[in-house]
Structure 1
Amino acid sequence: MLSAVSSTDSALVQEVVRRVRHDLPAMADRVTSQMFAEVPFYRTGGAGEHAEVRARLLLNLEAALAALLGARHAPQAPAETGRLRARQNAPLADVLCAYRLGYLAMSTALVDAGAQTPVVPAAVIIELMQSVFRNHSLDADAMVDAYREEADYLLSQRERERAALVDVLLSDDPGSAMLIDVARALRLPMDGSFLVIATASDRGQDPMPRLGSALAAIDVTMVWRVRYDTAVGVLSMHHPARADLAISVLRRHASGPVGISPAFGSLRQTAWALDLAELVRDGLHGSQTVEQFENTPLNMLVAGGRDVTRETARTVLGGLLDAPDETQQMLLGTLQMWVTSAGSADRTAERLHCHPNTVRKRLRRLEELTGRNLSEPGGIAELVTASHAWAQLRH
């Protein structure tokens, strides 16, 4: 609204605005064509048909002219435009560019109309332009605020929907039809090369916020689900050879223990893979380590029935579990090294940097505490399986 003009000048301003308003439909046609020609989002048709865009532009221009004639400035029209363009996923820069074209055309028309009326003082035209610029700023602010508010709401809504889809993907039995729909919505193939990763989350905060973009840079797609105390991701490799590269990226971004499943070929196996990734993560006991589940028969046996395996391990290890933790770790570590050294005390001692007699003494102590005999195949089998289970499972 003009703030300091005489009644005569006010009448002249009304005449100028009347002339521009008379030409408003033609102006809307020109500006709409300009938007579709110069603004990328409009050129793609994302803002709607020509007639729809023109109608909204005409509404905004009419409100802007009304404000110049003393109407209370109420930027509902630009705010609604901002919300609509946010729902259409329009780039904010393109929306502002289109809005600027409308105001530029209107201000040019006002100056031209003033020039056609010689009795309009230059000071009145200058103040008229000041009002136009001020209203443009207010309208643009209202549009941007509405755009951002709507965009934030939509982002939150999409994140909730995406989280629900990932939950279905990770569930035990989503059903084939539902799984196909979920995969399509998440833009994942049903078959390919996949990994599941599991790590800890601190009160719902993303522990690896830049992981997705880092994986995308090596052509690996990730869907991510952050809960209050855990975060889970499904990685889709376009080629199986990218799995090692993806794990290298994980190591650079890990901020806590990360368990990785074996590679698998169908999304139907996602829940199974999650179980193994969480098993590895839980076994890392909070260290900042990235470790993948080793897909061996013994590991799969341990993972298959955890509660039964855990209790069986307790029974086999017996008195060893009453010994101090350092004693447990020393004796079980010696056993594992002895097994991987083909039962050779000399080779075990060399790898543990101790004397062979020390190895033999530890193994005898292990036999005493567990009641198993390492000279018998059955005793070896039970101790090896139990020690492996005890190392793998949380207890």
Structure 2
Amino acid sequence: MAIKSDTSESRISTDVVKTLRSGIGRVTEEVIEEIQTRIPEYSRPSDQIYIKVVRMAVEQAIEGFLDRIEHPGAPWNPEPFRMIGRGEAAEGRSLESLQAAMRLGARVGWRRLTELAGPLGLSPQCLYDLGEIIFLHLDQLADAAAEGFEEARAHVAGEIDRRRGRLLDLLLSRPPAGDEAIADLAEAAGWRLPRTVAAVALDDQHGTCRVPRLPSDVLTGPERPVPCLLVPDPAGPGQAQMLERALRGRRVAVGPAVPPASAATSLRWAGEALELSRRGVLPRGLLRCEDHMATLVVFKDEELVSALAEVRLAPLAHLRPTQQDRLAETLLAWLRHGRGAGEVAARLHVHPQTVRYRLRQLEELYGDQLADPDIRFELEIALRARQAVTACPARRGA
């Protein structure tokens, strides 16, 4: 990296540079002391390795400044300060402390220069030129450190993303992974292991699934066969609102809360709910499996439910479709909400006398079957399935 030549640099005499070099040791000690006194992050009196790193950085900064004066057009190697920037990122600090240390070192250097101006016979113009070089040099050091810092952060972020991807694969594996393996990989990925998780299945009908901006503790898997998220502690404070905000306007399904080792089960239920939403059996938007468990159970084996419906709804089969719909609706309300005509009428928003008439028809059609609790249970399953399918827009338009 070449440093652009500056006419001001050429006005500094070789004798001045030699004199400044002779005082490097004293200035270095003063800069280090000032930094460690005024910036707590760099005060580690018992850490000899770290003290050596700080000393090396200060010495290289001062040597680089003097080299710049002595050889204005010479190439400059920014790698040492890129390395320092990477070290700051590895320590988990921001660049503020490093930048403050650099500014402090520049002030100490400038102070010493002004003290030497008289003995060295430096003219005001010469002193001005030296000050300009100090701040230009400071900018270059800061830029190199920032480059290294961002490189390190990008590398760490990429590694964390890869580890979290492997963690999500492990959590969603079948058969379930062991608790110890999950805990080890969670620690390596910097992910606090929660008590429960909920999988979120994302709609991917167009082949591309963009993940919205989410908190860092939400694991994301947009490229998985079922694009998904994994939300820690879904019942925790603010988690429901966070999902509502992030996923508003999208077709998604949130699986039930389960222990981390059972995350695959939560995703399976979420995927089934999403598919029922696509078919119109469940509404679109953000679905929570916990709000639709009965429908999910009913549609778990549709062939079996269809066979059950064929048997239990056979007494209605010979009626006109509109009659079937009215009697099925009345029977389901009667099974779900009690056997009083008044309560059923209130649920259906019809007159109680209408309900009594329909119930008499049902008694004629079903006879003693309605007194059997097992048959009533099977009827409710069949009628719930019928109601869900009837409400499906695709089926209504067929």
Superposed, which structure 2 residues align to 1:128-277 within 5 Å? 128-172=130-174, 173-185=176-188, 186-189=190-193, 192=195, 194-200=196-202, 203-207=208-212, 209-210=213-214, 212=215, 222-228=217-223, 230-236=227-233, 243=236, 246-255=239-248, 256-264=250-258, 266-277=259-270
Would you say the 8 A contact 2:165–2:220 is kept in 1? yes
1:178 deviates by 0.6
Answer yes or no: is 1:310 the counterpart of 2:313: no
- After superposition, what is the alpha-carbon deviation per residue over 1:52-90, rounded to whole angstroms, capped at 9, x for unaligned? 221133223222321121233443332232233223322
CA shift in 2, pair 1:244/1:27, >3 Å = closer
1:147 deviates by 1.9
Q: TM-score, normalised by structure 1?
A: 0.73
Structure 2 equivalent of residue 50 of structure 1: 51
- After superposition, what is the alpha-carbon deviation per residue over 1:102-130, rounded to whole angstroms, capped at 9, x for unaligned? 33333333333333212x32212212221
Superposed, which structure 2 residues align to 1:362-373 within 5 Å? none
Structure 2 equivalent of residue 217 of structure 1: none
Q: TM-score, normalised by structure 2?
A: 0.73
- After superposition, what is the alpha-carbon deviation per residue over 1:187-241, rounded to whole angstroms, capped at 9, x for unaligned? 5457x4x24141426734333x25x38xxxxxxxx4322414733223237xxxx
Structure 2 equivalent of residue 21 of structure 1: 21
- After superposition, what is the alpha-carbon deviation per residue over 1:230-253, rounded to whole angstroms, capped at 9, x for unaligned? 33223237xxxx658643554454
Q: 2:335 aligns with which of 333, 336, 339?
A: 339
Runs of 5+ unmatched residues, structure 1: 214-221
Structure 1 equivalent of residue 102 of structure 2: 99
Would you say the 8 A contact 2:168–2:221 is kept in 1? no
Would you say the 8 A contact 2:44–2:51 is kept in 1? no
Structure 2 equivalent of residue 287 of structure 1: 284
Supply the AA of the counterpart residue of 1:276.
Answer: W
Identify the range of structure 1 (19-28 vs 155-164) with the bigger mean alpha-carbon deviation. 19-28
Aligned length: 365
- After superposition, what is the alpha-carbon deviation per residue over 1:303-337, rounded to whole angstroms, capped at 9, x for unaligned? 8xx3xx1221233345999xxx9999988765543
1:382 deviates by 3.0
Q: How far apart are the structure 1 equivalents of 2:138 and 2:350?
A: 82
Would you say the 8 A contact 2:201–2:229 is kept in 1? yes
Runs of 5+ unmatched residues, structure 2: none
CA shift in 2, pair 1:138/1:55, >3 Å = closer
CA shift in 2, pair 1:29/1:199, >3 Å = farther
Answer yes or no: is 1:81 the counterpart of 2:84: yes
Q: How far apart are the structure 2 equivalents of 1:47 and 1:204?
A: 51
Q: How far apart are the structure 1 equivalents of 2:197 and 2:324?
A: 33
Which of these two proteins has the greater Rg computed from alpha carbons?
A: 2
- After superposition, what is the alpha-carbon deviation per residue over 1:360-381, rounded to whole angstroms, capped at 9, x for unaligned? 89899999xxx99973745533
Supply the AA of the counterpart residue of 1:353.
Answer: H
